[in-house]
Amino acid sequence: MNWPALKEKLDLYEKLMRLDKPIGILLLLWPTLWALWLSADGHPDWMVLWVFVLGTVLMRSAGCVINDYADRDFDKHVERTKERPLTAGRVSTKEALWLFASLALVSFALVLALGKPLVIWMSVPALFLAASYPFTKRFLAIPQAYLGIAFGFGIPMGYAAHLGEVPAEAWWLLLANVFWAVAYDTEYAMVDRDDDLKIGIKTSAITFGRFDVAAVMACYAVTLGILAWLGFGLRLGWIYDAGLVAAAAIFVQHYFWIRGRERMPCFKAFLHNNYAGLVIFLGIALDFLVSGRSFG
């Protein structure tokens, strides 16, 4: 066996799955953890937790593979993406499809291991959302909203895993995630706006135009508003509120980074959303831990 060639191929697969850039995993993971803690009154089932964490890594990786497959002819015209393995021809389209299918099958096997019928059924639309998102950039004016649903579908699945049903609060939490995703992915799209205009891909940064910064901040505000309303309804305490205040401070910082619409500060703001997801999660987890309350 040619070990150097195998190592090179595995390195290319790692880059295709973006395992070298974990920000996408984190942005998908935080809302999933919000849901797992809220649906279990701060005491998630550890088997469910591990399955969802591993599933998040696998499905984000699968999403990156199918995204590069869908955009392979567009990415070659974008400076930031033209050297991606599939676009550069270092990985074949057949390999990419096999890799996507393998990741999806392993994810489904994890879901089967839970033995929860509703979660198994919900994994079908979850896969469809992940696989179809890249193609929505051809016709949806704000494909980032679709991304928010795809990235947040672990929320209703998490509730289903713990409760055997999906209550209204799960869908409200998913809606909050949609607005958050539109905000942070608009910042991401602001980085590539000039290239996207040339190649004809639709993004929220293009759709919002000169109102892009205002739209990002409005989406942040709606995200925090929904989360605050949910916290009030669930009788969460001051620690949860403190997490939302910390997230608000992070979002205000983003305004000062993105208002000039320069590429690198916009990208910095996008990456910084990881900390917003983290402080919201800490607010949820610590509120349950310190209060010792159960809201089931």
The tens digit of pLDDT for each residue in 242-286 reads 999 999 999 999 999 999 999 999 999 999 999 999 999 999 999
Element (H, E) at 252: helix 238-258
Contact between 200 and 77 (Cβ < 8 Å) = no
**pLDDT, tens digit, for every residue of 10-47?**
888 898 899 988 999 999 999 999 999 999 999 999 99
Q: What is the 3-state secondary structure (H, E, C) of 168-216?
A: HHHHHHHHHHHHHHHHHHHHHHHHCHHHHHHHCCCCHHHHHHHHHHHHH
CA distance 133 to 112: 24
Every domain of the chain and the residues it spans: 7-291
pTM value? Answer: 0.92
**pLDDT, tens digit, for every residue of 169-228?**
999 999 999 999 999 999 999 988 877 777 778 889 899 989 999 999 999 999 999 999
- At 77 the pLDDT is 59
Q: How many CB atoms lie within 10 A of CB 58?
A: 21
DSSP 217: H
Q: Is 266 exposed, middle or buried (0-12, 13-18, 19+ CB in 10 A)?
A: buried
- At 76 the pLDDT is 66
- At 89 the pLDDT is 77
Q: Give the class (CATH, top level) of 7-291.
A: mainly alpha
CA distance 284 to 244: 10
Asked which of 52-56, 87-91, 283-287 is least confident by mean pLDDT, the reply is 87-91
- At 80 the pLDDT is 66
Question: Residue 178 has which token pair?
Answer: 């949609």
